[in-house]
Structure 1
């Protein structure tokens, strides 16, 4: 078999300073910083071979990865610590595109940028190439100031990219789903925090990723893709396993970095590998799927970092501290509530991942008392 494809962006977007308040109100600023194009880093390199090796070990029956020494799975703790997304809030879904979205969106963006023609779209949503025309550098930023309308509409285009290409990659290759338009428009046009619905972005990302792995582990055709949030899977693997992990030459976060006064804009734990201040050893090979498969087969229990977010690890990686969004919703990390994205309802098996929280895990954990019926998962 060949590695699955990741429908992830080839280039990241820059963030305009006047977007920051609205992104903060929506709970998306730490994640936006994580995938921001800054300095020499214009994109994140997704390791399709590594992600596919994880999907190969995913079992839909238990919602866990099966290794020779036991089970593991991404949890809400991983979403908080790695991505900095909020867990408290309204569920994301069910999602549905609004009637007449093509005409309405075309009217909103008409004349925002002189060199851009009418919106190009498919039945699923606007085309990515058209949305990319509204990146802030296309307006001449930072040399040319942008109007308030340009800032708002470029933020709406950015949010479509952020949701459709990094958080929920259920896109159709060259388009972004129109189902995200109402959320992007709401956040972009907000003038106060109260105008934005507080959403449980973190649980939605985890639910979408669970569903993506349930689908991906059963795919066999050439060119099959993994949906959900591949970034979460990659950062989760790097945090816990030595396989495919980039070499970090600079091991300390610069203390003179300027951060948000409320400590929201500080780095997430996932920034350990995506920060502009990090320099990776460029000694990784391509087409590592067979090699990674063998390494996972031979991986020992002692090679696993079971608790990568301990205070010692955090202090070593970030002596200046991390974003308070990483730990704000700690009370939800072991919830037994079902997690939701769109029409998908997923269930976490806490008894199977207790070792990841420093607790005792049974060798043969009991089955869930009230499992999801097959009709719901279908």
Structure 2
């Protein structure tokens, strides 16, 4: 079932509820979702982002470093609660008996939670929604009581299984049903944190999938806020909360393949200056009471729980999103709680995840661990990042230069060249001394040389040849040193570009209206540094070509002449 159709069905069921039932849904923390307008699905953006997801790190791997959707993103974009008890409990190999008891539905091949009503020809989306709501209203209890509780339980299964934690296909899974047995406890769970774990799990699927799991507007709006230069979203309604209410996806009529190719190219060449690490700096808390209790969870690395999904939120990989410099960190490795399969039906045993994941639940109850950094620059992290990912961070056909990887390798190369040059200088000095000693040897020295089977002139020629070879090696090392020094200057220029980029990005977010001249000045300096970096790279290339030509000339001049008597 398409995600937008699922949204329409769930929204129709919510609108069909009498006011007292809607209030109960609000008290559970789900009301803000139903204030969000139905957004167009952007499968190209979803697929482009999924291709950048590193399941091992639970993070996006972009050319400029890791980025991770956070609990603050969930809270501000969707309005879901990210505080409370971990969404954990029992999972069962079969839910038939539980569904019959709690939902009063006969479990046959397929049972419907809502009346089936297809869209009529020529019917608009709003007309279809209104008709579905009218049809559903006839089936719902209008007064509190056991039947109203049953209606609410059925609705929550539909909402959780087909919208918030949707999976591929039409079936509505019942894995959260055990948590709905006591409706008074439903609002005490951190459903927003469970939703984020489900998003991480969905991103780990094959990058060829164009459908998305769960509430798809979240990931789209996250990209609109953090990567605005992609221009995939339209800011239609300003000032509304949660933030997803402000946006709709940009209509793109091109073929999906063409959209995806353009998105890959745009992300590969995305200007670092336009990456928004802290999109909520100018946002207040007005009209968002759920943020008060959620704030202690922001900016912390913590384990997320959605029953059998136990996944890490590794915010220590994205310290820049907290206004810090990114320090060098150990990149995560795969955890034993990751499921090997994609299907929830693969759970063949009854499992108590509160017991199996006890240590991780305690981590959630402690609100994880705060993120700190003493780094004054991102350079060391970027070098380690480049060594780990290399060109894997580029997805377009025309890969960009891996600048950080080049910097890391050039630093090691420069150290090696310095050591080789010092060794060559010592060898040249020793050979010069030996040559001078041989040239100064008189008859006695010649006699001893002859007794050893050689001649002074032959020894002198050999030493002279060795000196020439050593001098040539030294010249070669000096050329390499000069080239590498130029590359280091290019590296310095790149570093200055990055620092100016960061400074300008900060000004973009924080600057008052009077700072436009400062931004223009920084842009000019940034352009000058980029020009310098390109010029240095051209110089390095010219030196390399010149050295290749000089080597060819030396090889020809040193080719041995044939003996005069040869034929």
Q: What's the TM-score once normalised by structure 1's chain length?
A: 0.71
Whole-angstrom CA distance in 1 between matches of 2:224 and 2:250: 14
1:70 matched to 2:30? The reply is no
Whole-angstrom CA distance in 2 between matches of 1:376 and 1:10: 27
Name stretches of at least 5 consecutive residues in structure 2 with no aligned partner. Answer: 119-130, 341-567
Q: Which of residues 299, 323, 326 is equivalent to 1:361? A: 326
1:292 matched to 2:263? The reply is yes
Distance 1:209 1:196, change over 3 A: closer
Question: 2:280 matched to which residue of 1?
Answer: 309
1:174 matched to 2:138? The reply is no
More helix by percentage:
2
Whole-angstrom CA distance in 1 between matches of 2:158 and 2:35: 14
Question: 1:238 matched to which residue of 2?
Answer: 224
- Give CA-to-partner distance per residue, 1:329-363, whole Å, 9 cap, x none: 1111233331111212111222211111222213x
Deviation at 1:177, TM superposition (A): 0.6
Does the 8 Å CA contact 2:53/2:204 hold for their aligned counterparts? yes
- Give CA-to-partner distance per residue, 1:17-60, whole Å, 9 cap, x none: 322321233222223333xxxxxx5x332211101100000111
Does the 8 Å CA contact 2:311/2:338 hold for their aligned counterparts? no
Distance 1:128 1:120, change over 3 A: farther
Does the 8 Å CA contact 2:113/2:154 hold for their aligned counterparts? no
Whole-angstrom CA distance in 1 between matches of 2:210 and 2:250: 30
Q: What's the TM-score once normalised by structure 2's chain length?
A: 0.49
Distance 1:196 1:92, change over 3 A: closer
Once the two structures are superposed, the pairs formed by residues 76-87 of structure 1 within 5 Å of their partners are 76-87=71-82
Distance 1:294 1:356, change over 3 A: same
1:205 matched to 2:195? The reply is yes
Q: Which of residues 229, 240, 245 is equivalent to 1:271? A: 245
Which ranges of 4 or more aligned residues in structure 1 deviate by more than 6 Å?
131-134
Whole-angstrom CA distance in 1 between matches of 2:267 and 2:197: 25
Whole-angstrom CA distance in 2 between matches of 1:249 and 1:32: 18
Question: 1:104 matched to which residue of 2?
Answer: 101
SS of the counterpart of 2:176? helix
1:324 matched to 2:273? The reply is no
Does the 8 Å CA contact 2:299/2:322 hold for their aligned counterparts? no
Distance 1:229 1:281, change over 3 A: closer
Whole-angstrom CA distance in 2 between matches of 1:200 and 1:10: 23
Name stretches of at least 5 consecutive residues in structure 1 with no aligned partner. Answer: 35-40, 110-117, 188-193, 254-266, 275-279
Whole-angstrom CA distance in 2 between matches of 1:180 and 1:160: 7
Deviation at 1:372, TM superposition (A): 5.5
- Give CA-to-partner distance per residue, 1:235-276, whole Å, 9 cap, x none: 2111211225322345344xxxxxxxxxxxxx21222226xx
Whole-angstrom CA distance in 1 between matches of 2:154 and 2:132: 8
Once the two structures are superposed, the pairs formed by residues 9-88 of structure 1 within 5 Å of their partners are 9-12=5-8, 13-14=11-12, 15=14, 16=17, 17-34=19-36, 43-88=38-83
Larger Rg: 2
Tell me the number of residue pairs that the alignment of Structure 1 and Structure 2 aligns: 315
Question: 1:113 matched to which residue of 2?
Answer: none
Does the 8 Å CA contact 2:221/2:244 hold for their aligned counterparts? yes
Does the 8 Å CA contact 1:30/1:323 hold for their aligned counterparts? no
Whole-angstrom CA distance in 1 between matches of 2:304 and 2:149: 31
Deviation at 1:140, TM superposition (A): 5.1
- Give CA-to-partner distance per residue, 1:167-188, whole Å, 9 cap, x none: 11125x222012233445643x
Distance 1:375 1:246, change over 3 A: closer
Distance 1:120 1:241, change over 3 A: farther
Distance 1:138 1:151, change over 3 A: farther
- Give CA-to-partner distance per residue, 1:49-91, whole Å, 9 cap, x none: 1011000001112211111112111011111111112222222
SS of the counterpart of 1:329? helix
Does the 8 Å CA contact 2:27/2:187 hold for their aligned counterparts? no
Most deviating of 96-105 and 321-330: 96-105
Distance 1:293 1:154, change over 3 A: farther
